[in-house]
Structures are given as C-alpha cells and as structure tokens.
C-alpha cells in the first residue's frame, strides 16, 4: 500500500485537540456513497491505523461508523457502512464498543445504538463478530430484545 510504503503514521491525531486520527476523519467526513469511502478506510487499516483508539469524546472508529450509519437512510450507503464495520472488526475492532452521541453524554453499547435506529443489518454484523446480545442501555436498563420486541 502507498501509505505503508511512505511510512505514514495513520494513528497520529489531528492538531485540533479532538484526538481524531485519519481513520476517524475519514469515517466522519467522507460520504459512504463514494467509492473513496471504503478505499481510504482499507488503505488506512492496511497502513496500521489503530481501530481501538477513541477520540476525545470517547468514540472509536467502529463507534463512529455506527453513528454514521444511524443517520444514513440510503440502502447502498448503509451497505458500505456495514462493509466498513466488517473491515474494522476484522482488524481487531471491539464489537462491544460504546457510542457517545456528544461529548459528556452517556456511552451506549454499539449494538443498542444500531437497534435503536432500526439498522438491523448493522446489528447483525456486530452480533456475528461477538457483540454481547445481553448488553444494557445505561439510560433505561433496556436490552436489544426490549427494543425489537
């Protein structure tokens, strides 16, 4: 990969003080509708991007993908987000990561965030990769079964 050949440091954070790496920024700013979305994520993972590094709000790259998918309504974009989730999980992402909606907010398990937004395909990806199906929403004590039942 080009980034690896150039000795890129994909885990270096931005100067803005938010603790975001190139992987965080790609997930936040590239549109899932573009081919570049998956290509850049793949290149960063190949170059050694840290899939478990949280930004200052507490979100890992996988958590940001869940957030990104929760506001996406177009099926092709959701599929690309799911593919990116699978890529991050394959490189060691934690399926039991938590999603922080805004800095200082309560962290909610990624599985519950996916279920709350009725993105069951995303939930299936998490469960297939070891997400705890009995995780509890700290805000109300509900599990995923409470949400879909």
Q: How many domains does the chain have?
A: 1
Q: Note down pLDDT in tens along the chain; length 149 residues.
A: 444 444 445 555 554 556 789 999 999 999 998 889 999 999 999 999 999 999 989 999 999 999 998 887 888 999 999 999 999 999 999 999 999 987 778 999 999 999 998 899 999 999 999 999 999 999 999 998 887 76
What's 99's domain CATH number? Answer: 1.25.40.20
Domain interval for residue 69: 2-148
The answer to pTM > 0.95 is: no
Can you spell out the DSSP letters for 21-86?
A: -HHHHHHHHS-TTSHHHHHHHHHHHHTT--TT---TTS--HHHHHHHHHHT---HHHHHHHHHHHH
């Amino acid at each position: 990969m080009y980034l690896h050949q150039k000795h890129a440091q994909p885990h270096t954070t931005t100067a803005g003080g938010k603790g975001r790496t190139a992987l965080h920024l790609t997930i936040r700013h590239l549109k899932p509708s573009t081919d570049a979305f998956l290509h850049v994520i793949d290149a960063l993972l190949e170059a050694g991007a840290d899939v478990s590094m949280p930004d200052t709000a507490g979100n890992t790259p996988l958590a940001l993908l869940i957030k990104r998918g929760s506001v996406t309504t177009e099926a092709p974009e959701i599929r690309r987000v799911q593919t990116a989730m699978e890529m991050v999980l394959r490189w060691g992402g934690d399926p039991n990561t938590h999603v922080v909606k805004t800095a200082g907010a309560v962290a909610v398990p990624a599985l519950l965030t996916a279920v709350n937004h009725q993105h069951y395909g995303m939930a299936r990806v998490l469960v297939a990769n070891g997400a705890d199906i009995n995780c509890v929403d700290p805000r109300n004590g509900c599990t995923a079964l409470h949400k879909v039942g």
